[in-house]
Structure formats: structure tokens, C-alpha cells
Structure 1
Amino acid sequence: MADVVISRFPDLPRPDAPGPIAVVRDFVNTDDRETGVDRLVTAAGLTAYLQEEGLLQGSVRASRRDLDQALELRAVLRAALVAHHDGRSDPITGLGAAVERLEVHLTWSEDGPRLEPRRPGVQAALARIGIAAHEAARDGTWPRLKICSSDACEWAYFDHSKNQSRRWCEYGCGNRAKSRALRARRRAAT
């Protein structure tokens, strides 16, 4: 996915993640559970997000049908990341069907085989997100994409730990949980 720009705002702090997995992580994080801000409430919001991420060019606009498909894709991807967090590898209901509807096809070049979107516009942009998930699965980084254990956060993050055992995102949720547990133990001891 070398032709996909991960962000037009490289100066904003984003924890490192390999390119394909960052595309999926950022898409799942369009629903910020901590702040209650969902960037994909409207078709215009979907269009703006895809354009900002470099997944959609030109004057193409998302339809309500595109938005419904994007919301379905995001929901099944989030479910897969929750399963990664729980250490499960069982198939996620709906993930195969959602990705299948993205309509990709296999192309060949001197660089070898590649998955490409079959349809143009917003459908191609959504297909690129599905292709990114496929590439992450192929390169072995897919199980490292997880959902933060904090019920208040639930942010998608890339687990950089050697044994893939991280439970919290990069934004201090682990420290807050550990501090609460320590205070609770101290209160119980007194």
C-alpha cells in the first residue's frame, strides 16, 4: 500500500505502527469512545475522513449506502481487535462478509501479486482498508492490533511489546488503572 498516504498531518503525535496496520487502526479510531466523537456519523464525515487519510481523491462524495458499509466494516474490524486483546483467534462473525463486499481482485505485475479495489471512489477507499487488514494478516502484524482494556477508552492501538501482552493503549490508561488498583489496595489495608 505504498501509494496510500497514512496522514496529511504527520506532525501530530501518532504512535508508530506499520503502514497497513496504521490504516486499519486509524479507521477503527474514527469512533472515539472516550470523547464520544464519531467521525462517521454522516456520509460527508466519511468523505472528509477518507480524503484526509489520502484514501480518496477528487470530488467523489460518499453516499448513505457507502456510510452503512463503512460502519459495518468498522464494527467487524473493532470486534476482531477485541478478540486480539482477549487472545482469541476465532473467526469474527461478519468480517469475511464485510470484506467480501469490498470487491477486490488480484493483479499481477513485475513486483508480484497485489490485491486491488475493483470499484472506484468511496468503494475503492473502503477496499483499501480491507486490503490493509489483509496485508497486516499476511505480514504477521494483525494480532498486534488491539483495543485498550480501559472501558472508558477502547482505543485501537498497536501492541509493540515483545510477547504481545500489552493491555492498554499509549495514552496513559494503564497508568490510571494501576494507580486506581494501588489506591484500592491501600484503602483495603487501612
Structure 2
Amino acid sequence: MEAPRWNGDTAALVLSFVNTRADGAGNVEIFGTAAGFARWATQRGLLDTATVVTDSDAVAARELRDALVTTLLTHAGDPDIGDAQVAEAERYLRQAGVRYPLTTVVTAQTAQLLAGSSGVPGVLGSVLAAVTETAQRGDWMRIKACCNPPCHFGFVDRTRNRAARFCSPGCGSQVSMRALRQRRKQADPAAAGESASGRA
């Protein structure tokens, strides 16, 4: 079986973008402020330090990121993501594709997609370009978000059968333990209540 062909730049950019959320592991929200979003973009060479970034730009970045995270959760088969959420994410991503257009750049050696704008629209367009190039290589479905609700960390599924649902064994164990506690609670609500009061 042929190994997946990864373009580190495109996959790394997508994962860096989606992994800016606050999560259960103590990571803070990077796009919570204009300064946080600007710092992330300039560190990756996507934005000039002289560019003015506003709070509404940070909101736009969060909205694009959240739509992508929903999509990545569907790649992982998250049962908590319903059809309505998927449709809303896809609708937003179609609108983003119009708002942040891409340009095809062809040279004698390569052809690639680049953001068609500069400034903040160029940053978000660059993320969409990375998503598109990853999909064109057939690797998009391997980029997933962890199905452990406090986490949702983006990761690359490198398993042969593409069945990974969690970013780490620890997240998988947390979900299994929550499911076990829920089954016990449903089987014997009184015992579950006594157990909880005993722990208190």
C-alpha cells in the first residue's frame, strides 16, 4: 500500500490554524483578540507586522476555524455532529471561498493556489488554499479533529484504515470512561447517586 503523500506546509498550516482554540488541556484561545490573531499570522509569515488587525478580523478567523473544526470532526466520525451542523459549516465555507478568493500560480516547475488578496483576507485565503491543496492530493479526509469534546485537537490520521477518532490514547480513554460511567448510571441510578455523594 502506498504511504500517504504529505505536503508538510499545507497540512501544518491547516493544523496550526484549527489548533488555536482553548481546550481541556489548558491551551488558551489564541484568536480571542486582534493582537492574538495578528501574532499568529505574522509568526507564520502570512501577515506584515504593519497591517492593522481588528477585533472583527479575529471574529472572522474564529468563524472560519470553527467551520473547519466541524468538518474535521465529521472526518473522524464524531456522532455528536449532526447534519444541520455539517450543512451550516459547509454553507459558511462556501461563503468564505467567495470572500477570500484564491489565485492559481503556474510556473514551469509547479502549479499552486495562493491567496488572491493581501492583509487579513490574504491570511484566511491562505488557509483555504492549504485546505484545497490538501484535498486535491487526496489527503483531506486524513486531517481530523479529536472526538473528545473538551479537546477537538486537529491531527493527522496516519493509520492504514483511516479509523482514528482521537488525537491520543488519553483522549480515547477519557471518552471510554465517560461512556462507562453513563452506562452504570443508566443501569442503576440510585447506586450512581450514592457513589457520587460518597465521593463528595
Task: Pick the TM interval, shorter chain.
Answer: 0.7 to 0.9
Q: Which residue of 2 aligns with 1:79?
A: 70
Q: Which residue of 2 aligns with 1:143?
A: 141
The structure in which a higher percent of residues are helix is 2
- Is 2:97 aligned against 1:99? yes
Conserved in 2, the CA contact under 8 Å of 1:73 and 1:99? Answer: no
- Is 2:38 aligned against 1:40? no
Identity %: 30
After the TM superposition, which parts of structure 1 deviate over 3 Å for at least 4 consecutive aligned residues? 175-186
d(CA) in 2 for partners of 1:74, 1:27? 7
2:48 match: secondary structure: coil
| Aligned-partner residue type, residue 32 of structure 1 | A
Conserved in 1, the CA contact under 8 Å of 2:20 and 2:30? Answer: yes
Quote how far apart the aligned CAs of 1:179 are.
Answer: 6.1
Q: Give deviations 1:80-115, integer Å, cap 9, x for gaps.
A: 111111189x76232111122112222222124322
Q: Which residue of 1 aligns with 2:61?
A: 70
Conserved in 2, the CA contact under 8 Å of 1:144 and 1:159? Answer: yes
Matches for 1:105-120 after TM superposition, within 5 Å: 105-120=103-118
Quote how far apart the aligned CAs of 1:136 are.
Answer: 0.7
Quote how far apart the aligned CAs of 1:151 are.
Answer: 1.6
1:165 match: secondary structure: coil
The TM-score with structure 1 as length reference comes to 0.76
Conserved in 1, the CA contact under 8 Å of 2:146 and 2:155? Answer: yes
Q: Which residue of 1 aligns with 2:192?
A: none
Conserved in 2, the CA contact under 8 Å of 1:76 and 1:93? Answer: no
Q: Which residue of 1 aligns with 2:45?
A: 54
Count of residues in correspondence between the two structures? 173
d(CA) in 2 for partners of 1:41, 1:128? 20
Instruction: For structure 2, list consecutive stretches of 5 or more residues without a partner in the other structure.
Output: 1-5, 188-200
Say what the alpha-carbon RMSD is for the aligned residues: 3.0
d(CA) in 1 for partners of 2:29, 2:139? 26
Q: Please, which moves more after superposition, 60-69 or 119-128?
A: 60-69
Distance 1:171 1:126, change over 3 A: farther
The TM-score with structure 2 as length reference comes to 0.73
| Aligned-partner residue type, residue 136 of structure 1 | T
Instruction: For structure 1, list consecutive stretches of 5 or more residues without a partner in the other structure.
Output: 1-15
